[in-house]
Amino acid sequence: MLKQKTLYIFLFGLISSSLYAQSTDIRIITIDDAIAIALENNYALKQAKNELNLADDLIFSEKADFLPSVSASMNGSRTTGQQFIFDRFSEGLEPFVDISSQSISGGMNASINLFTGFTNILTLKSSQSNKESREQQYERAKELVIFNTATRYLQVLLDKELLAIAKQNLETSTTQLEQVQAQVELGARPMVDLFNQEAQVANDELVVTQRENTQSLNSLLLIRQLEIDPLGTYDFVVPDLTLNDLPWVDLNLKTLVDEALSIRSDILSAEASILSLRYQTQITKNSLLPTLRASASVSSRYSDQYSIAGSEVSFSDQFFDQQVNRSLGLSFSVPLFNNWNRMYSIQSSQVQLKNAELNLDNSKMQVIQEVTQAYNDYSSYVKQLDASEKSLVASERAFQTQQERYNLGASTLIELTQAQSAFVSAQSSYTQALYNLIFQEKLVDFYLGKLKGNNIF
């Protein structure tokens, strides 16, 4: 008996420690944590960041294009066989001899573009504008990640609230079932009321199960959005949800549209991209201009067959003195005809520029449509929240009244059940209207380009 008690105590301690370990493994995540995690883990943002770094490298490279190009070379050779030796010829000796000769040569060249139609300047400006476009794309991508994360988070919070309402309704139904069962046993209520209430409890249990499944699914979607371990255990904290005093209700729609067009990252990105294309178009046009290039070089060589008056000359005297050559050059080139390739490049760049401008106009129209629709929906959700709040108050009073009447025997179970269903429906409608309005507020922020992730709630 003592051994059996000891075994029970050991198993109880083992189970308790296991439950405690599991509870301590739960990761608490707030909305700010979720946004920070998503911004850190999102692979698309990482790729965009890599593209930004590459754009910086490209700008550095194009700044270096203003500097001269410098190259150095060194060559060595050994030749065996009959060779013509100029030095022997100049001395009146037989110039063709069968020998093995060795030689070394080296040189350094430098060149710089003096004028190429301002290509370097325009290319640098184009790359700088392109980098600005990528930066704005990166900012818009961040806003999209923030918006998607906040949306998923809000959905999980809404599921929590709806599950809590369903559980509370089940608890109320269970309490009513106990009351009805007691009244039926006393003969104060017919048996059919007991059957009807049992059916109501079973239906409420089904609703709770459905709400739990929905919450689990949306929690998995949020975890996928955060790109964290799907096998982990997480608790998503409900923040203090406020409506920020309904900031968009009293604002003029045109003011909101103008603001969105002036600060939206995607619009700014398109404008910077158009500027980059304008520079590119100018580069293709300037390819018809002449080019001017300067160059300088120094070279030297050594050969073991080199001699003066029959005397051998040392490596030092040859390579650093007697066989040193220096040159300066200036080249001027005028493009006359290149099989129409330059003209095609000009036309192609102009078409790309026009298409980019058309895309910008289309994007602006889309922004106007998005802001207008979001603003109208926001105004509608404000009215829905007000109506659902009034409905909630009225249905709660009706349910309380029917509860009292049923307890006094002045009302039927059907009337009480209908009142309870109306109250639960009003609770759900109010909760959904509240979250819809909060979501719509964030959607307006997103369409205005103001969703930056700082104090999102």
- The pLDDT assigned to 206 comes to 95
Mean pLDDT in residue range 378-392 = 88
How confident is residue 300, by pLDDT bands cut at 50, 70 and 90?
Answer: very high
Give the CB-side neighbour count of residue 378, counting CA atoms within 13 A: 23
pLDDT recorded at residue 23:
45
Asked if residue 193 belongs to a domain, the reply is yes
Lowest mean pLDDT among 74-88, 124-138, 168-182, 183-197: 74-88
Q: Name the pLDDT band for 453 (thresholds 50, 70, 90).
A: low
pTM, entire model: 0.76
pLDDT value for 9: 38
Amino acid at 89: F
Helix (H) / strand (E) element for 284: namely helix 265-286
Asked, for residue 59, whether it belongs to a domain, the answer is: no
Cβ atoms of 374 and 440 within 8 Å: the answer is yes
pLDDT for residue 436? 86
Residue 33 lies in a domain: no
Which of 357, 345, 221 lies closest to 276, judged by CA? 357
Mean pLDDT of 35-41: 91
What's the sign of the alpha-carbon dihedral 350, 355, 357, 358?
A: positive
Residue 411 lies in a domain: yes
Determine which of 230-234, 256-260, 387-391, 412-416 has the lowest per-residue pLDDT on average.
412-416
Which pLDDT belongs to residue 404?
86
28 in a structural domain: no
The pLDDT value given to residue 91: 65
Single-letter amino acid code for the residue at 9: I
Q: Answer yes or no: is pLDDT of 133 > 80.
A: yes
Burial 121-143 (b: 16+ CB within 10 A, else e): bbbbbbbbbbbbbbbbbbbbbbb
Q: Does the pLDDT of residue 237 top 60, yes or no?
A: yes
The pLDDT of residue 393 is 92
* Residue 455, CB-side half-sphere exposure with 13 Å CA sphere: 3
Residue 179, in any domain of the structure: yes
For residue 398, give the CATH number of its domain.
Answer: 1.20.1600.10
Strands (E), 201-251: 234-236
- The confidence band for 423, taking pLDDT boundaries of 50, 70 and 90, is confident
> Which distant-in-sequence residues (6+ apart) come within 8 Å of 119 by Cβ?
113, 283, 286, 287
Residue 304: what pLDDT?
A: 80
Asked whether residue 4 carries a pLDDT value surpassing 90, the answer given is no
Confidence of residue 6 (pLDDT cuts 50, 70, 90): very low
Query: Of 143, 150, 138, nearest to 49 (Cα)?
Result: 138
Report DSSP letters for 422-439, one per residue: HHHHHHHHHHHHHHHHHH
> Is the residue at 286 inside a domain?
yes
Encode pLDDT of 159-169 as tens digits: 998 898 899 88
pLDDT score for 264: 92
Is residue 424 over pLDDT 80? yes
Kindly indicate the confidence band of residue 323, based on its pLDDT and cuts at 50, 70 and 90: confident
The pLDDT value given to residue 16: 42
Q: Does the pLDDT at position 58 exceed 70?
A: yes
**Domains held by the chain: number:** 1
Its domain, for residue 148, covers 117-290+339-457
- Of 396, 98, 147, 388, nearest in space to 265 by CA: 147
Q: Residue 218 in contact with residue 435, Cβ under 8 Å?
A: no
Distances (CA, A) of 178 to 56, 63, 68, 93, 229: 73, 83, 94, 132, 44
Residue 307's pLDDT is 73
**What's the rounded mean pLDDT across residues 138-144?**
91
Q: What is the pLDDT of residues 60-118, one digit of tens each?
A: 998 888 999 999 999 988 878 777 766 666 666 777 777 777 889 999 999 999 888 88
| Cα 456 to Cα 90: distance, rounded to the nearest angstrom | 91
Mean pLDDT for the stretch of residues 7-16 = 40
Looking at residue 5, what is its pLDDT?
41
Q: What is the pLDDT of residue 293?
A: 93
User: Is 348 inside any structural domain?
Assistant: yes
Calpha distance 20→103 (Å, rounded): 84
What's the average model confidence in pLDDT over 324-334?
Answer: 92
> For residue 241, what are the contacts with CB-CB under 8 A and spacing of at least 6?
157, 434, 438, 457
Please give the Cα distance from 76 to 102 (Å, whole number): 8
Mean pLDDT of the chain: 84
